[in-house]
Chains A and B, each alone.
Chain A
């Protein structure tokens, strides 16, 4: 069975704090893909990153970084020096090799206060 768990329902931080959003997944596939999407208050979901199961290198993009650990089935997302514009709901998702189906976690709502 494919499953994504985002245990943090809501997180509040003050601007400039670092924050990590947790994502734990379950899959029996040997080849799979993990994703993060952002849903700002406007409602439209925006793609952030894709990572395949054979690439465990951490990735950094500006203030965003992702830590993929197969040993713990986790794909965590860290925002460094958070900003008010980072306030959104963030979804972690899992897909198999054919990209027919995506399994989303329940999302983590991030509130960044000035």
Chain B
């Protein structure tokens, strides 16, 4: 089982460039999330989705956009990258029902913006 897969794993961008991070899950989960992890700050929610075609803002949405056109995929876009977006990005998905809240995380994507 692949679980949650993120691509790419590493990326270096120049300020102003754009890119898209792809998250794919094969567990038929309804809920998907994008987090960023910065030293000393834990994980902060960027955007989330409770189902195909729906997205919502989290704690730190500025500078990011997302799309959930297919249930299994959740894309995170940076339209004009800034050095403040240098971070490790984690995608997660979750069951509903009895196991709701049990997040399954991808391996992370390390992004550096120069």
Question: Which A positions have Cβ atoms within 8 angstroms of B?
Answer: 4, 6, 9, 33, 35, 37, 42-47, 50, 91, 93, 95, 99-107
CA distance A6 to B59 in the complex (A): 19
- Would A106 and B48 count as touching, CB distance under 8 A? no
A9 to chain B, nearest CB (A): 8
Q: Mark B16-59, 1 if CB is under 8 A from A, else 0.
A: 00000000000000010101000011111100101000001011
- Would B101 and A33 count as touching, CB distance under 8 A? yes
Please give, as numbers and ranges, the residues of chain B lying within 8 Å of A99 by CB-CB distance.
31, 94, 96, 100-101
Question: Which B positions have Cβ atoms within 8 angstroms of A?
Answer: 31, 33, 35, 40-45, 48, 50, 56, 58-59, 88, 90, 92, 94, 96, 100-108
- Would A101 and B43 count as touching, CB distance under 8 A? no
* Selected contact of A43 from candidates B50, B100, B108, CB within 8 Å: B108
- Would B42 and A104 count as touching, CB distance under 8 A? yes
CA distance A107 to B43 in the complex (A): 9
- Would A44 and B94 count as touching, CB distance under 8 A? no
* Selected contact of B42 from candidates A100, A101, A107, CB within 8 Å: A107
CA distance A91 to B101 in the complex (A): 14
CA distance A91 to B90 in the complex (A): 14
